[in-house]
């Protein structure tokens, strides 16, 4: 069996037999996992908050990533010529989010992109990478969280139905630094996101959060990896997903989600505390949720390590209970689904975007704008 640690560098294009690619519908990727024909640079519009600086840089001048790379991310990096660099200077704390709007340029020719976020020591900021439009897109994101810095990176995928999106996101977390990643995937035909984390010194903390909602014909895949190689760091992974397929539409109607949560605690990483959880809410037939937590522990001297995974159908007893209190079925369904996502969305410390994600989920349910009496107090 391939261990997590062995599978971090890919030297050839995947065939689908690899552990890391076994769930992915390679034939739908338009070849971008093998080679990039005539790639172009993706459009990125940046709205930098005051105190955050943004520049375009020659990708060749950027340091290579220290994180795990797969073949697709390697060839994407090689084909990228310009890097969007976001810098938060030392000691600067910024409350309002900096938004990078990534807009697809159509599905015909592949697009590539590279984003670097440098949070210098003791800085604090929120960065939103907001993906939309039609694209065949392969992306690399590198995040450096300096000592004592606090960084939240929210990646939102509200792509059009025909988009293919491969993304690798790697964070390097410094001493006593706090990194929070939130991946919110709703649109796209195939979306495969690989958020990875390493620590450079003790005291680091990483929270990897995710919310996703797959409709008929969508494949939404999230594979996180937290590599604990230094002592006394923490990680917490929570991904929650809903699936709503179309049972009338045959194979094309299946909603498919994949969550794989890898955590390695290496021999040196004493005092590690880690927990990961994935929950999936199946709203219809024609839905498939794969959920695989992997925990490799090479030292017994840890503070705690655990994982949980559960996939369950929408509970008709909940619906009956709410309806028996006069609440119409559509409002009741929305309450239950919002409730399901509440704990993960409440951990996103960006109120405007919390509300936006809740509204996107309502829209996915087809239940936006219905009457109700609960404006959140």
Partner 1 sequence: MSVLEIRDLHVSVDAEGGAREILRGVDLTVKSGETHAIMGPNGSGKSTLAYSIAGHPKYTITSGTVTLDGEDVLAMTVDERARAGMFLAMQYPVEVPGVSVSNFLRTSVTAIRGEAPKLRTWVKEMKGAMDALSMDPAFAERNVNEGFSGGEKKRHEILQMELLQPKIAILDETDSGLDVDALKVVSEGVNRVAASGEVGVLLITHYTRILRYIRPDFVHVFVDGRIVAEGGAELADELEAHGYDQYVKAAASA
Interacting residues toward partner 1 by CB under 8 A: 315-318, 320-329, 331-332, 335-336, 338-343, 372-377
Nearer to partner 1, 301 or 343 (CB): 343
CA proximity to 56, closest of 83, 95, 94:
83
The number of helices, as runs of H, and strands, as runs of E, in the chain is 4, 19
User: DSSP 3-state assignment of 77?
Assistant: helix
Residue 287, beta-bridge partner list: 255
CB of 322 to partner 1, least distance (A): 7
User: DSSP 3-state assignment of 8?
Assistant: coil
Nearer to partner 1, 244 or 279 (CB): 279
CB of 97 to partner 1, least distance (A): 24
Tokens (6 digits) for 162: 């025909």
C-alpha 138/C-alpha 141 separation (Å) is 10
C-alpha 65/C-alpha 166 separation (Å) is 16
C-alpha 259/C-alpha 123 separation (Å) is 31
The DSSP-derived string for 290-337 is EEEEEEEE--S--SEEEEEEEEEE--HHHHHHHHTTT--HHHHHHHHH
Nearer to partner 1, 165 or 334 (CB): 334
CA proximity to 119, closest of 156, 159, 91, 96:
91
Nearer to partner 1, 292 or 335 (CB): 335
CB of 325 to partner 1, least distance (A): 4
Nearer to partner 1, 247 or 312 (CB): 312
Query: Would you say how long the chain is, in residues?
Result: 377
Nearer to partner 1, 179 or 340 (CB): 340
For 96-132, b/e burial (b = at least 16 CB within 10 A) is ebbbbbbebbebeebbbbbbbbbbbbbbbbbbbbbbb
Nearer to partner 1, 42 or 332 (CB): 332
CB of 327 to partner 1, least distance (A): 5
């Amino acid at each position: 069996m391939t261990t997590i640690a062995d599978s971090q560098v890919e030297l050839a294009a995947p065939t689908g037999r690899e552990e890391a690619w076994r769930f992915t519908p390679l034939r739908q990727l338009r070849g971008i996992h093998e080679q990039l024909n005539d790639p172009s640079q993706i459009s990125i519009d940046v709205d930098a908050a005051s105190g955050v600086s943004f520049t375009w840089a020659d990708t060749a001048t950027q340091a290579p990533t220290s994180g795990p790379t797969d073949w697709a991310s390697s060839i994407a990096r090689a084909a990228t010529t310009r890097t969007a660099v976001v810098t938060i200077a030392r000691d600067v704390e910024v409350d309002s989010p900096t938004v990078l709007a990534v807009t697809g340029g159509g599905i015909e020719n592949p697009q590539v992109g590279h984003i670097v976020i440098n949070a210098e020591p003791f800085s604090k900021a929120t960065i939103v990478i907001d993906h939309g439009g039609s694209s065949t897109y392969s992306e690399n994101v590198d995040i450096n969280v300096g000592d004592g810095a606090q960084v939240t990176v929210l990646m939102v995928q509200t792509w059009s139905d025909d988009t293919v999106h491969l993304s690798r996101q790697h964070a390097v977390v410094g001493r006593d630094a706090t990194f929070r990643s939130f991946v919110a995937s709703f649109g796209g035909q195939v979306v495969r996101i690989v958020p990875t984390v390493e620590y450079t010194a003790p005291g680091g903390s990483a929270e990897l959060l995710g919310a996703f909602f797959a409709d008929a014909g969508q494949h939404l895949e999230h594979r996180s990896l937290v590599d604990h190689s230094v002592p006394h760091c923490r990680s917490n992974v929570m991904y929650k997903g809903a699936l709503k397929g179309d049972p009338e539409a045959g194979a094309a109607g299946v909603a498919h989600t994949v969550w794989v949560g890898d955590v390695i605690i290496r021999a040196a990483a004493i005092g590690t505390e880690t927990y990961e959880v994935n929950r999936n809410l199946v709203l219809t037939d024609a839905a498939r949720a794969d959920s695989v937590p992997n925990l490799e522990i090479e030292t017994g001297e840890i503070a705690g390590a655990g994982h949980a995974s559960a996939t369950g159908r929408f509970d008709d007893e909940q619906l009956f209970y709410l309806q028996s209190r006069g609440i119409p079925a559509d409002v009741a369904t929305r309450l239950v689904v919002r409730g399901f996502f509440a704990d993960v969305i409440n951990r996103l410390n960006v109120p405007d975007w919390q509300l936006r994600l809740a509204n996107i989920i309502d829209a996915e349910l087809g239940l936006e704008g219905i009457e109700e009496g609960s404006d959140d107090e």
